[in-house]
Amino acid sequence: MDCLALLASCIEEEGGAIAPALADPVERRQLERLQQIGALVPSRARTIICPRCEAHSVRVITAGSALCVGCGKVVLAAQDLQRLAPDGEWLRRRIAQALGLPVGPPWSLVPGQLWRLGDLGRGSARRRILYGERLRSSRTGRALHAVWPSLVGQGPAILLTTTAPDDVFLPGLPVSVVPLASAFQVRGTGLVVAGPVWEGILDEASLGNEDGRHGPFGPDFRTVLLPGETEPVALTPTQSALLRVLWELSGERIEREALLRRAKVDLDKPIVAFPQSKYPQAHRAYRALVRSNRQGQYWWARDVAADTAKL
């Protein structure tokens, strides 16, 4: 099970919290990774399995004790109460960022279960992007059918969900149900798109907002807006291709050769595309947005990543 599959499983569980102490070593590393990037946040358990008899569910009385019907008062260790809970706002924001959609508050269609994140693509490739969780019950299916015509519409939609697709029953609706772990991968401190579901859509993607921006970039990735500034910086096609690759990696480091190959540029190193004498503003943008080290690795600057994610 990868990180996103584990996150989805945690979200689908009633209560949505998981005990790191009960996880196996592989899952524990994944939980640590999810906590590191902000997908899981610390929380405290209200009820636990009695650590003495391991047979009864007990309610926590205070931070250090609980009452078990079989054992009486039970002393609790700190690790007995430690839980990690999914941060739904983080997940919806990162999905939107990975797709180049607006990162503001999404439109809630069914409270706590279904959100509309935006529209992706143009013309026949246009898709309405939805995110849903805990969609198994028939009651939820009826609720989705009731709101669909007025709040989603009749055009094709993509429903990204933590619920297994076989458990989502929406007959007659123009929607493709895609599991979260099949649509994205964890990269750096965020998500990047993955899987054939996006083929033919992302190439024509619009951000769904008024100016069609892609995060800090303009509609065609030929301008970039630096944090705290209002005037975008113009970019050449080569400059645009390099910065776009780094931005889409969400802070993950990439080797120089791989960066140049993915950007499809024939250069010795990226900085060559940003000569200060010829492109002073683009050079300034490169210095602000890109970091590198002596090992030939490059990444989108982490100290501005949060600011550019809001653009």
Give the pLDDT confidence of 246-300 residue by residue, as tens digits: 887 777 889 999 999 988 899 999 999 999 999 999 999 999 999 999 999 999 8
Identify which has the larger pLDDT, 15 or 172: 172
For residue 216, being part of any structural domain is answered with no
Judgement on whether residues 241 and 194 belong to the same structural domain of the protein: no
- Looking at residue 152, its pLDDT comes to 85
Which CATH number covers residue 229? 1.10.10
For residue 96, being part of any structural domain is answered with yes
Q: Which residue has the tokens 């990037």?
A: 37
pLDDT at 303 over 80: no
Expressed as residue numbers, the domain containing 263 is 223-309
For residue 209, being part of any structural domain is answered with no
Kindly report the pTM of this predicted structure: 0.58
- Contact present, 90 and 191 (Cβ < 8 Å): no
Amino acid 186 reads V
Judgement on whether residues 41 and 129 belong to the same structural domain of the protein: no
Q: Cα(137)–Cα(142) distance, rounded to whole angstroms? A: 9
Amino acid 38 reads G
Contacting residues for 224 by C-beta, under 8 A, at least 6 apart: 216, 217, 218, 232, 233, 235, 243, 285, 289
Judgement on whether residues 100 and 195 belong to the same structural domain of the protein: yes
Count of CB atoms within 10 A of residue 288's CB? 16
For residue 215, being part of any structural domain is answered with no
- How many independent structural domains does the chain possess? 3
CA 89 to chain CA centroid, Å, is 9
Out of 86, 108, 142, pick the residue that ends a domain. 86
For residue 164, being part of any structural domain is answered with yes
pLDDT at 210 over 50: no
Out of 50, 67, 86, pick the residue that ends a domain. 86
For residue 67, being part of any structural domain is answered with yes
Percentage of the chain lying above the pLDDT 90 cut:
24
Strands 175-179 and 157-161, by their bridges, are parallel
Q: Using 50, 70 and 90 to split pLDDT, how confident is the model at 208?
A: very low
Give the pLDDT confidence of 26-75 residue by residue, as tens digits: 888 888 889 888 888 887 666 666 666 665 566 665 667 777 767 777 77
**Residues counted in the chain:** 311
- Looking at residue 278, its pLDDT comes to 92
